[in-house]
């Protein structure tokens, strides 16, 4: 055969086949996203899709794709298309398919045919065994397409023939009445669609690659790719959900124009200056008050901001200092290992434990009578942040190349000067990354604040934590005082919890509690993102000093 040597490198013209198989892979991806959209009601299961009922349309698509995949397998088996299949689809695929088919068989046997537990198990085992055999025994092109295509066709027919319609529901009899469980079509159908889209897409991708090594690569690629997309989609959906739900309450009666906003008196150490804001944004600028139409979250925003600032100011110097000692000075041995384990354990300690610690040891410390206070909240959250700062700073410092330390020592520069002017600057981006991660966690903490800081979830805008304004100078020690720090105040996550769960919203005159909750959540998300942005900008600044661009 003259072309034999050539054909192993250059694949023969397979354009038609590849086009059709590629189209099927694309359809599977679309089906996957439709299923994903249906889980979060973006595509309604009870509504319509392209002029048909949603389930009918999805069923039709599944049947067509299932048949197409089986057709690929058969065409390859008959040698109509040049493919490179192996002897078997493999044990992993066979085990997965037998599991899927076992479930299908067991459910059909026990529920549809009414054979009960024993009958269902028997049918399931039988169908599972057939699925295993159909995958493992034939050549790869049949083994990986037939079970996949059949599954898609079966699910498709179930939807198409209305066996599972939009209003279908299933309450398994095995649950006792007091704990009954009901699966609705809108819960089950999207998952069935996602599952069959993955299976049929995998088979189609294998067919597209002509089976064999290339086919397996493409099949795996498709699964990993869709998986990654799904995770990102979940994140996007989460944020989008909060934005959609929270947008209306947050932007209620916003007006822009000169002099429409509230007047703020900026006061520091006795000097004051009045500013009138050119924008009136009630939700962000108001507190709870009888005289405003819109109850806002301004005091909670201020509280959260001060909490984060206080916690960072406490944790970063202590954490970086500890990391310097552990990395540069302490002899690497049992002591540093114990400290390392302890730090990691501290980071995974539940926040309520920190809260209890704060309530027991910090709350009674600052005032004559035990009183929850902003300061106690700051210190508690600072302690929570501390282990992460230590862990990430240590890692960042260990990652600083020893060559820098050698070079500095060879110039006669002392250890501390080396740490200060070479090691810490080089580790700074890593330290900031740790702080960013930590701030995301502590800004959303609710449990410790309940115990250490929270007082009255709704306060007027005037009663916010006026930390800056309330610095006072005095002639007697401690010379600078700030009574605001020892007062209880509120914070966004704490307020969200109070509004949604404890009904404090009604007493404060909030009309739509749920909407107010979503609004608060949106503001919290924005505040955390703002801290992220500041952190990322800081990291970028330190990084730009270290690299050449």
Interacting residues with another protein (CB under 8 A): 331, 401, 403-404, 406-414, 417, 421-422, 425-426, 545-549
Q: What is the largest CA-CA distance in the chain?
A: 103
**In the complex, least distance from residue 330 CB atom to another protein, rounded to whole angstroms:** 13
Q: For another protein, which is the closer residue by CB, 31 or 400?
A: 400
What is the 8-class DSSP label of residue 177?
G
**In the complex, least distance from residue 435 CB atom to another protein, rounded to whole angstroms:** 21
Measured between alpha carbons, how far is 390 from 239 in angstroms, rounded to an integer?
30
Q: For another protein, which is the closer residue by CB, 11 or 415?
A: 415
Q: For another protein, which is the closer residue by CB, 51 or 401?
A: 401
227: buried, middle or exposed (CB in 10 Å: 19+, 13-18, 0-12)? exposed
DSSP code string of 82-140: -----S---HHHHHHHHHHHHHHHHHIIIIIS--HHHHHHHHHHHHHHHHHHHHHSS-H
| Residue in the block written with tokens 């929570």 | 384
Q: For another protein, which is the closer residue by CB, 9 or 410?
A: 410
Cis omega before residue 124 (within 30°)?
A: no
Q: For another protein, which is the closer residue by CB, 177 or 331?
A: 331
**In the complex, least distance from residue 401 CB atom to another protein, rounded to whole angstroms:** 7
Q: For another protein, which is the closer residue by CB, 441 or 543?
A: 543
Q: For another protein, which is the closer residue by CB, 296 or 429?
A: 429
Measured between alpha carbons, how far is 129 from 131 in angstroms, rounded to an integer?
5
Neighbours of 247 (CB within 10 A): 13
Neighbours of 195 (CB within 10 A): 17
**In the complex, least distance from residue 406 CB atom to another protein, rounded to whole angstroms:** 6
Task: Give the up-direction half-sphere exposure of residue 371: CA atoms within 13 A in the CB hemisphere.
Answer: 15
- Contact assessment for residue 204 and residue 72, using Cβ atoms and an 8 Å cutoff: yes
Alpha-carbon distances of 321 from 387, 397, 419, rounded to whole Å:
12, 11, 11
Q: For another protein, which is the closer residue by CB, 44 or 417?
A: 417
Q: For another protein, which is the closer residue by CB, 328 or 469?
A: 328
Q: For another protein, which is the closer residue by CB, 217 or 545?
A: 545
DSSP code string of 454-496: B--S---GGGS--TTTT-EE-SSTTSEE-GGGGS-B--HHHHH
Q: For another protein, which is the closer residue by CB, 275 or 407?
A: 407
- Angle (deg, nearest 10), helices 298-324 and 374-398: 40
> In sequence order, which residues have a C-beta less than 8 Å from that of residue 146 and are 6 or more positions away?
70, 73, 134, 135, 138
Q: For another protein, which is the closer residue by CB, 413 or 468?
A: 413
**In the complex, least distance from residue 411 CB atom to another protein, rounded to whole angstroms:** 4
Residues forming beta bridges with residue 279, ordered by sequence position: 256
> In sequence order, which residues have a C-beta less than 8 Å from that of residue 329 and are 6 or more positions away?
415
Neighbours of 449 (CB within 10 A): 30
**In the complex, least distance from residue 416 CB atom to another protein, rounded to whole angstroms:** 10
Measured between alpha carbons, how far is 462 from 529 in angstroms, rounded to an integer?
26
**In the complex, least distance from residue 335 CB atom to another protein, rounded to whole angstroms:** 15
Reading the block at residue 468, the tokens are: 């800056």
Distance linking the first and last C-alpha atoms of the chain: 56
Residue 458 φ then ψ, to 5°: -115, 115
Sign of CA dihedral 277, 278, 283, 286: positive
**In the complex, least distance from residue 391 CB atom to another protein, rounded to whole angstroms:** 23
**In the complex, least distance from residue 535 CB atom to another protein, rounded to whole angstroms:** 21
Query: What would you report as the CA-atom Rg of the chain, rounded to the nearest whole angstrom?
Result: 32
- Contact assessment for residue 43 and residue 34, using Cβ atoms and an 8 Å cutoff: yes
Q: For another protein, which is the closer residue by CB, 217 or 420?
A: 420
């Amino acid at each position: 055969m003259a072309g034999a040597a050539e054909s192993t490198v250059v694949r023969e013209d397979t354009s038609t086949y590849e086009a059709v198989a590629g189209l099927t892979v694309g359809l599977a991806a679309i089906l996957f996203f439709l299923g994903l959209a249906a889980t979060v009601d973006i595509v309604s299961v009870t509504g319509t899709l392209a002029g048909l009922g949603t389930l009918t349309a999805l069923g039709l698509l599944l049947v067509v794709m299932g048949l197409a995949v089986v057709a690929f397998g058969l065409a390859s088996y008959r040698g109509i298309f040049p493919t490179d299949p192996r002897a078997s689809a493999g044990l992993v695929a066979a085990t997965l398919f037998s599991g899927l088919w076992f479930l299908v068989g067991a459910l059909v046997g026990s529920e549809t045919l009414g054979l009960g537990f024993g009958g269902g198990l028997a049918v399931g085992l039988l169908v599972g065994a057939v699925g295993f055999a159909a995958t493992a025994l034939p050549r790869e092109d049949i083994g990986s397409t037939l079970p996949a295509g059949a599954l898609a066709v079966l699910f498709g027919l179930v939807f198409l023939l209305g066996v599972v319609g939009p209003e279908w529901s299933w309450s398994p009899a095995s649950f006792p009445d007091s704990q009954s469980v009901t699966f609705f079509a809108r819960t089950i159908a999207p998952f069935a669609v996602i599952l069959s889209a993955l299976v049929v897409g995998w088979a189609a991708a294998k067919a597209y690659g002509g089976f064999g090594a290339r086919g397996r690569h493409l099949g795996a690629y498709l699964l990993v790719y869709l998986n990654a997309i799904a995770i990102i989609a979940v994140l996007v959906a989460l944020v989008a959900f909060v934005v959609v739900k929270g947008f209306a309450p947050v932007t209620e009666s916003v007006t822009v124009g000169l002099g429409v906003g509230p007047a703020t008196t900026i006061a520091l150490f006795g000097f004051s200056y009045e500013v009138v804001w050119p924008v009136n944004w009630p939700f962000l600028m108001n507190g709870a008050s009888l005289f405003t139409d819109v109850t806002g979250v301004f005091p909670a925003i201020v509280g959260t901001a001060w909490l984060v600032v206080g916690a960072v100011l406490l944790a970063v110097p202590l954490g970086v200092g500890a990391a310097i000692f552990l990395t540069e000075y302490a002899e690497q041995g049992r002591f540093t290992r114990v400290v390392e384990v302890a730090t990691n354990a501290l980071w995974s300690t539940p926040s309520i434990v920190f809260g209890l610690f704060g309530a027991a040891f910090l709350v009674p410390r600052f005032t004559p009578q035990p009183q929850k206070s902003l300061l106690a909240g700051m210190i508690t959250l600072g302690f929570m942040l501390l282990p992460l700062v230590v862990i990430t700073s240590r890692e960042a410092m260990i990652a600083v190349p020893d060559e820098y330390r050698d070079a500095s020592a060879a110039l006669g520069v002392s250890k501390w000067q080396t740490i200060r002017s070479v090691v810490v600057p080089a580790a700074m981006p890593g330290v900031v990354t740790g702080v960013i991660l930590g701030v995301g966690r502590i800004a959303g903490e609710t449990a410790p604040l309940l115990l250490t800081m929270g007082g009255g979830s709704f306060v007027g805008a005037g009663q916010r934590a006026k930390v800056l304004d309330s610095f006072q100078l005095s002639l007697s020690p401690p010379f600078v005082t700030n009574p605001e720090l020892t007062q209880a105040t509120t914070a966004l996550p704490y307020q969200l919890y109070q509004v949604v769960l404890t009904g404090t919203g009604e007493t404060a005159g909030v009309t739509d509690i749920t909407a107010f909750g979503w609004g608060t959540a949106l503001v919290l998300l924005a505040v955390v993102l703002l801290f992220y942005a500041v952190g990322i900008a800081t990291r970028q600044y330190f990084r730009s000093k270290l690299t050449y661009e």
